[in-house]
Amino acid sequence: MATSATDHSLAVAGRLGKNDVKLHIAMFPWLAFGHILPYLELAKLFAQKGHQISFISTPKNIHRLPKLPPNLSPLINLVKLPSLNLPNDAESTSDLPREKVPTLKKAHDGLRDSLSIFLRSSKPDWLLFDFTSYWVPDMARDIGIPNAYFSIFNAACLGYVGAEFPDYRTEPDDFVVAPRWVPFPSTVAYRKYEVSRLFKELSGTQGGEDDVPILYRFFKALRGCHVVAVRSCWELETEWLNLLSDLLGKPVLPIGQLPPAPPSNDSEEDEYDESWRSTKRWLDLQPKRSVVYLAFGSEAVPSQDELTEIALGLELSGFPFFWALRARSDLAELPAGFQDRTRERGIVCTTWAPQLKILDFVPKLTLHKH
């Protein structure tokens, strides 16, 4: 009797825990650094066990990855697929305003043939992919490679999405309550103002190759893979992990939160990083639990109205603050005189902020919003 792809994938999964078996694992994250970096952290964990990794992305994204630890670098092969040929050499969501991200998704889908060529030539034991690459399970099945959807979203998020598009989710109000398939009390849902922005993407029916809705990508990834790996843990999401496994009828594996490695306090980089040393001196001078730390990440770019409200709120609060601000300088500016009025008690950082180092000062912080 022939062995099915599912049987083979589960057999290979069982070998992952054996120290004497080394696998070749290919990883293909979505073109956003909120996805790329967790994939890279997982790649490092695999490499620490002696597994060989092919970490696949576009040239610009590979170039922007943090430096690999010397002991792991020989085991992590950074594979560059062709550039996307988008305006301004855009290759990730951080290179584009939100309204242009659909263009990036279309270009990402155009990497299908290049990925197929690499997989057929390298024949990895496993392929881990992201939800945007909804076409990967069919490709991997044709090549004969077991595949896992590795979700950077937690189990509650995936459980809210569900396993298929229900007929009743046709209006924005349908997304502001818990789904009908959730059997336990839950407040996991969009707020009205959130869903009003996303409704067209969430409720879209299957489009052509040039217009594939987000939820369709999710459903194809969840349904097509052999295994779902979730950035979560049993202690936090027991009910959601069990529900997700029941909905999908396949293994759902929590793999932890995958935080990046803590920074070295005595590294050469720290010694010469005047920006960080200046920030550290300022934090040291602030009273305990007095500093408001505000950071929305690299993907949430505030509008001008939002930027103004945040700035005025910080000013009126009277608290010292550190604001890691990512905004499109051509479209948004701080209120007139804001920085002069708050110069003695606040820092507005418009470049990269060393978040892990700043969070070492948690006893001094009153808020971390990300």
- Choose among 105, 109, 57: nearest CA to 83: 57
pLDDT range class, residue 262, cuts 50, 70, 90: low
- Asked about 35 being catalytic, the answer comes back as yes
Amino acid symbol at 248: L
| pLDDT (0 to 100) of residue 290 | 87
CA torsion sign, 92 to 96 to 98 to 101? negative
Task: Say yes or no to pLDDT of 209 above 90.
Answer: no
| pLDDT (0 to 100) of residue 72 | 96
Amino acid symbol at 272: Y
Task: Say yes or no to pLDDT of 14 above 60.
Answer: no
Read off the pLDDT of residues 122-171 as tens digits, 9 standing for 90 and up.
999 999 999 999 999 999 999 999 999 999 999 999 999 888 777 777 78
Looking at domain 5-165+205-254, its CATH superfamily turns out to be Glycogen Phosphorylase B; (3.40.50.2000)
Average pLDDT over residues 245-258: 95
Catalytic residue among 108, 125, 130, 226: 130
- Asked about 368 being catalytic, the answer comes back as no
Q: What is the mean pLDDT of the chain?
A: 85
Task: Sketch the domain layout of the chain as residue ranges.
Answer: 5-165+205-254, 268-369
Read off the pLDDT of residues 331-357 as tens digits, 9 standing for 90 and up.
568 999 999 999 889 999 887 777 777
pLDDT range class, residue 326, cuts 50, 70, 90: confident
| pLDDT (0 to 100) of residue 3 | 40
Catalytic residue among 35, 51, 108, 226: 35
| pLDDT (0 to 100) of residue 289 | 82
CA torsion sign, 232 to 111 to 51 to 355? negative
Average pLDDT over residues 189-194: 89
CATH architecture classification, 268-369: 3-Layer(aba) Sandwich (3.40)
Read off the pLDDT of residues 269-304 as tens digits, 9 standing for 90 and up.
554 467 778 888 888 888 888 889 988 876 777 788
Q: Is 158 exposed, middle or buried (0-12, 13-18, 19+ CB in 10 A)?
A: buried
Q: Which residue would you say has higher pLDDT here, 3 or 177?
A: 177
Same fold, 5-165+205-254 and 268-369: yes
